[in-house]
Copies of this chain bind each other. A is one copy, B any other.
Amino acid sequence: MTIMPKLPEKTIERLSQYRRALLICLGKNKQYIFSHELAGMLHLTPVQVRRDIMLIGYSGTLRQGYEIREMIALIGKIIDSEEGLKVAVIGLGNLGRAMISYFNGKRTKLSIVAAFDINQEKVNRVYAGVPCYHIDMLSKIIRSENIPIAIMTVPGDEAAKVTESLVLAGIKGILNYTPTPVNVPANTYLQEYDMITSLEKIAYFVKQGNREEHI
């Protein structure tokens, strides 16, 4: 297998988006796509698309564009793990359930296999195919099921404690959707996403009457 020299982080993000856009095209029985078409779908410039494609070592055909299936396959080789990775959702509130529905049937390589909550009414039930365990079982299940990734959708004031449990349980990556930033050791990958920041940013640009698109 060819070693892929480290891709820019932004390119990784876009690869995921390219794939989704390409899958939509495939669903419409499209076979080839031009850089400007893909760019248009994702609010990017054609140059950026071509450059990313260059970076992953793929080539299209002149005047015909890129072969959609091939590109999907190649992106998969780069960003997916062969075995597939299991994901747990911590906190089965509205947001946790939203994440599960979101994923339902969408991806094969990433699958949500467990949810955790503190509420006894939710525990030991199955939500959209995903079993919900009591949060006390977190460490046990994460280890036994070998789950490397967790999505935190608990209330902000529980974020720190849950993070600690996750780290102790050996989790490798955390996506933190709570409003509270958390800390993890250096060998754990952490990504924070804050809905309020997103909205405040929009508010700022709306206030400024700014015209640009920003993804």
Question: A interface vs B, CB < 8 Å?
Answer: 9, 12-13, 16-17, 20-21, 24, 41-43, 78-81, 85, 87, 93-95, 97-99, 101-103, 106-107, 109-110, 148-149, 151, 153, 172-175, 179-181, 183-184, 186-187, 189-207, 210-215
Q: Are B214 and A20 in touch, CB under 8 angstroms?
A: no
Which residues of B lie under 8 Å from residue A21 when comparing CB positions?
181
Q: What's the number of copies of this chain in the assembled complex?
A: 2
A163 to chain B, nearest CB (A): 13
Q: A148 → chain B, closest Cβ, in Å?
A: 5
Complex: chain B residue closest to A99, CB-CB? B195
CB A154 to nearest CB in B, in angstroms, measures 12
In the complex, A191→B180 CA distance in Å? 22
Are B214 and A149 in contact, CB atoms less than 8 angstroms apart? Answer: no
Check if A205 sits within 8 Å of B173, measured CB to CB: yes
Question: Does A190 contact B79, Cβ atoms closer than 8 Å?
Answer: no
Q: Which of B12, B17, B201 contacts A16 (CB 8 A)?
A: B201
Contact: B181 with A43, CB < 8 Å? yes
A148 B206 Cβ-Cβ under 8 A: yes
